[in-house]
Amino acid sequence: MRITVTVDGTSYTDEVEPRLLLVHYLRDHLGKVGTVVGCDTSNCGACTVHLDGRSVKSCSVLAVQADGSEVTTVEGLATGGSLHPVQQAFHDNHALQCGYCTPGMIMSTLDLLAENPDPDEQQVRLGLEGNLCRCTGYQNIVAAAQDAARRLRDADATAGGGR
């Protein structure tokens, strides 16, 4: 099947097998290796990307289901050589440990903060419950998500003239 999908702002048209998972399309066809394969069962969340602005586990989505859609990977967040505020918050709060869960955690955090721009600790934990960290870095991940929320609110206030 022929699909056309926009990934990180670039449009791609490719022939794919109907059973090809989105995670494998991103990694093997487009070289977007920041999206990792963790469990292949949608339990860990390491492969989370945004599909038309909402987080999805790309190991549970077929590439043909993304036809005509926009996909954002963790690699598409940084602009002009600067990390996205959520990426920077994860870095600054040492929410990385081995780093395997980090791409999915960052993408899920973005989705969480779009819905709740000022989550408390419990709301962060609930919002990220579909993502697993095998290194038990949850304390730092929660801190990073809350720091990212503050950074995004501050950026919005600055861009809006303090409104």
pLDDT (0 to 100) of residue 147: 98
- What is the tens place of the pLDDT at every residue in 113-158? 999 999 999 999 999 999 999 887 799 999 999 999 999 999 888 8
Low-confidence ranges of the chain (pLDDT < 70): 161-163
Identify the domain boundary among 20, 51, 76.
76
State which of 18, 53, 76 marks the end of a domain.
Answer: 76
E-state strands within the chain: 2-7, 10-15, 48-51, 54-57, 70-72
**Residue 115 lies in domain:** 85-157
Looking at the structure, do residues 93 and 49 belong to the same domain, yes or no?
Answer: no
Residues 93 and 35 in one domain: no
CB 23 within 8 A of CB 35: yes
130 & 68 share domain: no
Question: How many distinct helices (H) and strands (E) make up the chain?
Answer: 5, 5
Do residues 71 and 90 both lie within one domain?
A: no
Q: What is the pLDDT of residue 162?
A: 55
Domain count for the chain = 2
